[in-house]
Structure 1
Amino acid sequence: MCEQLDLFDSLVPAGVVSFDRDEPSVTRSGITLRAHVVGTYALDGTWMWAWANDSHRDSPIAARSGELRELGERTGVPELTEPMPDLNHFPDPRLAADHLLLMCMGLLDARGGVICAVNERGRLFMVVDDPAVPRAEPRPARLTTALRNGAALLPGPALKPVQGWFARHGVEPVYGPGRVEGVLDGGDRVVVTLGDEEVTGVEVTGPGGGAPGCGTAGEQELEEARRSPDAPHRTFPRPLLAVAAREMAFSILRTRAMVQYADDHLAFDGRAPLWDEQAGELRFPGGGLTARRLGSYDAEEGWFRWAPGTEDIRDRFRHAAGLGAAEAEDLPELSGERLDLTAYGPREAVAVALARTAANVAGHTFTSLGNHFLVVTDERLSGTGTIDLDAAVTDIRGGASWLQGLVEQETRDETMRSLARSYFERLGLQVWHYGQPDFISGVTGLYEVRVYFAPDGTITHVAPGMVMGAPL
């Protein structure tokens, strides 16, 4: 499956992901393929099978997860029959979820796998079983990586996964001291040397001992895959993303401070305030806050538009992103025209990230009334209150939740670390890096907030505690 997934990722490159529950299918980088959800992973370290998930189990996209449950019932494998297996007994529960997807691919003989970051709180796992994706044929680099990784992923002797690879390619293995070898269909010879629990070497040679024929074979291609020009294809521009990473969590803090002010001084009773367009005020039972329109969006129709008169706020956004006039003209996200959100994967996240970031770089507070965004400019909201580490956890997780689905893999680590680091700096907390690469800390006195990262940069956990105390 490592070999198959390697081929799949080369044919269907990483990009914006969307899925159709009824078809069922997944679209990545404009390529649509038949696919099924097998499970989801949450920050608490649990995996939920699609057949047990209220959001998926009654839709066609969860059908193949039911096959896994049936297999578990026949073979007595509780991990396949428990609705929500707990992965916390693994050293890295999140990585265990990734490995579980590989196993699901193998059990269902799938052609590929897709992981979709739903938000900061969870990830969705899909297997691709579309015949448009070919079965992986041996190629020297790919098979070498696959044999090494396949043995490393499973505990115990490396011989078993090596035998599995030979069997998948219909190769009769020949055994020698610390080695297994066999001949591929084209006459190339594969020799695998083994340690106790690892593959120590892989050699591929041609029939006469020279260069292997599979090394010069052309790369495999998709067969009649559907290209979907109207599928989500646009990613959040990197210059704007860098600004959003610095601003989002602090914007959430500002909004929370506004709510607290309204509760303390304006008799806020939990009901949504009223917008007085003529007075330019957001009215609470005990008074109002000066505000102005910022923008609006329609998630169902798929559009976002800045409100008239917000050129000054958008200019601040452009300046924060270091964009010149010519560069800014190429970004529809900051123009006054209606922005087509259907070009993006997470539509609402795009609209909220744009509006929140713009409000914060302008030095104001973001709030919303339904699908209408407002920027609160009232000077009484200049402070953010005292440092509250529990609230900091909420702010950072909230900011990550909005941004996680907008970040491309290659910039995720940089972006999410910037989100945490910038928030700490804005609060005046010392940023400590003693836990790198696993976490960074915001420190005040004897206490800290730790932000933990997965190897791909995803924020997996945020928690307060004593400085340099036990793992949180």
Structure 2
Amino acid sequence: MTASFSDQLLALARPNLAWVCEQLDLFDSLVPAGVVSFDRDEPSVTRSGITLRAHVVGTYALDGTWMWAWANESYRDSAIAVRSRELRELGERAGVPELTEPMPDLNHFPDPRLAADHLLLMCMGLLDARGGVICAVNERGRLFLVVDDPAVPRAEPRVPRLTTALRNGAALLPGPALKPVQGWFARHGIKPVYGPGRVEGVLDGGDRVVVALGGERVVGVEVTGDGGGAPRCGTAGEQELQGARLSPDAPHRTFPRPLLAVAAREMAFSILRTRAMVQYADDHLGFDGRPPLWDEQAGELRFPGGGLKARRLGSYDAEAGWFRWAPATEDIRDRLREAAGLAPEEAGNLPELCGEQLDLTVYGPREAVAVALARTAANVAGHTFTSLGNHFFAVTDERLSDTGITDLDAAVTDIRGGASRLQGLVEQETRDETMRSLAQSYFERLGLQVWHYGQPDFVSGVMGLYEVRVYFAPDGTITQVTPGVLMGAPM
């Protein structure tokens, strides 16, 4: 199986890649990165308080699969999936398998997550979109939207934006560099003139663009003004949004960085504790798969064969938009404050730790915020987190005190689970630090040696002759977690 998209899809998409890079660069400068939310009925996306017309094209799941919006029960009958159906129709006409399969598997790519990002860029080009947005869907996956709002201008040539776009557009996917260069020229109405190893042409304002080619690469881009002087597009003003809707009440708050740092250290180990609790209930308390019952008077989670001591931790309602700490949890919140290194006055400024109820509507991934807050608090207090529906509990039973790693596959499960629960809370600038902390803290907590011989691609937790490798994308996202023989071939 080849680690590439089909020839049919590449033939359709490759001519668009340079101008798509240019357009996305402009879009990101006009609609800065920030908290993202979307409305499936309008349809629209809101980022950093700016609302624009947008449509979902697909989702990416943690198992390495992409699902088109037209095939997704959650979106296919809503207005926000309309443009994904255009892609399916295009795929049927052109015989493109990726556009007609409901759930393409991206696991044959070296980095399935990056392949999903590339799919979004191809969708932008095929739909002549003006922007692209990725949104975390709770803690389980990522949702990809194309923006087609006329409030976003079409990118005009600017230096150095066009230089970067021509280089990157040629480098994104396999194939000759000439195709995306020709596509960029056509986008800007430039009549190309071909010479040995180059393409050149003149913009409307008189600037000359010369692109030097080297097989699959753009090796040079030169932009000069009329007569060889400074280019006019080099001094042109930046473009602006025209009539975009501002949404001051849109989600805008992110999980506070001090608490996020604690969550990174605690999350995977907390999952280990929860898994150990379930195993204990299965071995000793007749757990039969049905959720236990909460016995308020006894302070126990009741299983068929007995109970586990626990205390209420909190509850949430993602639809109504609130998280509420349970009464008498001040001691647990204090432990979380101490773990974050916050002075009392600093903690008092964090709505996540003070008061009885937290407004979740100001956050993007509401459920992820509630779960991460409660799970982290339980773990730093030395307890085991569990939930019954949207009610959270800290299991305090001393019989669960001995927790350790049993096999490498279990470590894989814990780290993957921790990464999936944090990914919706981590912004780009802190992602690499946060996700590496998650892996390293888990290994250290269990007494595994941490080896960095694979940096920056992966970090290893070593146990005897075996290791667990945690692989990272260039942006810090955890892409794979694999067990294997120490320093053996990648699995």
Q: TM-score range by the shorter chain?
A: over 0.9
For 1:342-421, list aligned pairs within 5 A. 342-421=361-440
Q: Is the 8 A contact 1:38 1:49 kept in 2?
A: yes
For 1:26-425, list aligned pairs within 5 A. 26-118=45-137, 121-425=140-444
Residues 147-168 of structure 1: per-residue CA shift (max 9 Å, x gap)? 1111112433322221211111
- Aligned structure 1 segments of 4 or more residues deviating by more than 4 angstroms: none
Task: Give the stretch that moved more between structures: 257-266 or 135-144.
Answer: 257-266
For the structure 1 residues 445 and 284, does the alpha-carbon distance in structure 2 shift closer, same or farther, using more than 3 Å as the test?
same
Q: Is the 8 A contact 1:275 1:282 kept in 2?
A: yes
Q: Is the 8 A contact 1:275 1:283 kept in 2?
A: yes
* Shift, 1:234, TM fit: 0.7
Q: Is the 8 A contact 1:293 1:307 kept in 2?
A: yes
For the structure 1 residues 76 and 370, does the alpha-carbon distance in structure 2 shift closer, same or farther, using more than 3 Å as the test?
closer
Task: Please tell me whether residue 24 in structure 1 is matched to residue 43 in structure 2.
Answer: yes
Q: Is the 8 A contact 2:335 2:380 kept in 1?
A: yes
Q: Which amino acid aligns with 1:290?
A: K
Q: Which amino acid aligns with 2:199?
A: V
Q: Distance in 1 between matches of 2:288 and 2:107?
A: 40
For the structure 1 residues 464 and 339, does the alpha-carbon distance in structure 2 shift closer, same or farther, using more than 3 Å as the test?
same
Q: Which amino acid aligns with 1:369?
A: L
Q: Distance in 2 between matches of 1:273 and 1:309?
A: 23
Q: Is the 8 A contact 1:120 1:397 kept in 2?
A: no
**TM-score, normalised by the number of residues in structure 2:** 0.92
Task: Give the stretch that moved more between structures: 232-241 or 377-386.
Answer: 377-386
Say what the alpha-carbon RMSD is for the aligned residues: 1.8
Q: Distance in 2 between matches of 1:360 and 1:331?
A: 19
* Shift, 1:89, TM fit: 4.0
* Shift, 1:5, TM fit: 0.5
Q: Which amino acid aligns with 1:356?
A: R
Q: Is the 8 A contact 2:449 2:463 kept in 1?
A: yes
Q: Is the 8 A contact 2:471 2:481 kept in 1?
A: yes
Q: Distance in 2 between matches of 1:288 and 1:44?
A: 35
For the structure 1 residues 386 and 406, does the alpha-carbon distance in structure 2 shift closer, same or farther, using more than 3 Å as the test?
closer
**SS of residue paired to 1:333:** coil
Task: Please tell me whether residue 426 in structure 1 is matched to residue 445 in structure 2.
Answer: yes
For 1:438-449, list aligned pairs within 5 A. 438-449=457-468
Q: Is the 8 A contact 2:111 2:479 kept in 1?
A: no
Task: Give the stretch that moved more between structures: 314-323 or 271-280.
Answer: 271-280
Q: Distance in 2 between matches of 1:92 and 1:271?
A: 37
**SS of residue paired to 2:57:** strand
Aligned residues: 472
Q: Distance in 1 between matches of 2:480 and 2:137?
A: 16
**SS of residue paired to 2:228:** coil
* Shift, 1:97, TM fit: 2.1
* Shift, 1:254, TM fit: 1.1
For the structure 1 residues 121 and 375, does the alpha-carbon distance in structure 2 shift closer, same or farther, using more than 3 Å as the test?
closer
Calculate percent identity across the aligned residue pairs.
Answer: 89
Q: Distance in 2 between matches of 1:133 and 1:2?
A: 15
Q: Distance in 2 between matches of 1:162 and 1:463?
A: 39
**Unaligned stretches of 5+ residues in structure 2:** 1-19
Q: Is the 8 A contact 1:303 1:338 kept in 2?
A: yes
**Unaligned stretches of 5+ residues in structure 1:** none
Q: Distance in 2 between matches of 1:343 and 1:246?
A: 25
